[in-house]
Amino acid sequence: PPTISQTQRGYAALDYDLLLSAAAELGYGLLESGAEIYRVEESIQRLLHAYGIPRADPFVIPNCIIVSFRTPQGQTLTQVRRMPSHGTDVDLIERYNDLCRRLCREIPSLEEAQSRLKDIGQTRRCYSFPVLMAAYFAVAAAFCLLFGGLFRDALCAGIGGLATGLALTALTLLHANLFFKSMLCSALSAF
């Protein structure tokens, strides 16, 4: 939490619209990366609290973020961000979490905070299709071995993981919704 001296150093002159945008961008980046709802809401609250907003009301569901708070002058600010279909990127979640901690600890200018958020969003790792399919195969096979399966069981599980990865990729290219993708890939895995 900010100390009294930090509050006296000029938070009264904060650009609250920019603060709202930074908080919404942090939440958007976390949610897009696959972070849990509670983590997104908590990160938004911590960031706003660090910049002198004692009470914030973020509301996050899998496809929408609403950030709302009241400025010290009594003005209520709200921003709504719609989240398209997304996956999970553990590396990005960790980088956004780390940035949130640093922003709350260092409390840089809002322009610098926005710049750091933008930098993370632009440095996303992308893997080639063969690497992704190899990962689907390897992860499924490794879990089979972990739970006591034999080598031939792991081979079958790897083929099932590969089939699931191919189906998920095809459905993503067809812009299928998350529910349909989950149902179809679950049925394929069970088969």
The contacts of residue 144 (CB under 8 Å, 6+ apart) are 153, 154, 156, 157, 158
Dist. CA 112–CA 17, nearest whole Å: 15
Instruction: Give the DSSP letter of residue 54.
Output: S
pLDDT of residue 190: 83
Residue whose token pair is 């569901």: 61
Dist. CA 86–CA 172, nearest whole Å: 10
pLDDT of residue 155: 95
- Split the chain (191 residues) into runs of 10 and give each run's mean pLDDT: 42 81 94 92 95 91 93 91 82 93 93 92 83 94 94 94 92 84 86 82
